[in-house]
Amino acid sequence: MIAPLTYQNTLSINFTSRPNISSGISRVFAAAVVNQQFCSMLLQDPQTAIQKGYLGETFSLSREERDLIVSICANSLADLAKQVTRSLSNNY
């Protein structure tokens, strides 16, 4: 006998413990996702990538956010995101 399919909510997200990601950081990552050239520059020379911006628009980052991104050495965008999230989680 085959048991009927039942819906089980196995996804549990605690939004109150989520780090505070600014719109500026979100825009940096969005630009990196849609443009491989910007992504490469962000990983290799984050200071320049942030200063140049993307498609003529600059990123609204606090000094701490800028310093955080520049201080991270990551080999991939996923690694950079993970380290930023971890650092922000530790600060809040």
- Burial class for 70, CB neighbours closer than 10 Å (0-12, 13-18, 19+): middle
Is residue 11 domain-resident?
A: no
Domain of 36 in residue numbering reads as: 21-91
- Burial class for 76, CB neighbours closer than 10 Å (0-12, 13-18, 19+): exposed
Mean pLDDT score across all residues of the chain: 83
User: Per-residue confidence at 89, pLDDT binned at 50, 70, 90?
Assistant: confident
Q: How many domains does the chain have?
A: 1
- Burial class for 85, CB neighbours closer than 10 Å (0-12, 13-18, 19+): middle
Question: What pLDDT does residue 36 have?
Answer: 96
Is residue 80 domain-resident?
A: yes
Global model pTM greater than 0.85: no
Is residue 16 domain-resident?
A: no
Do you know the residue count of the chain? 92
CA angle 46, 52, 54 (to 5 degrees): 95
User: Per-residue confidence at 3, pLDDT binned at 50, 70, 90?
Assistant: low
pLDDT, one tens digit per residue, over 68-86 is 999 999 999 999 999 999 9
d(CA 88, CA 39): 21
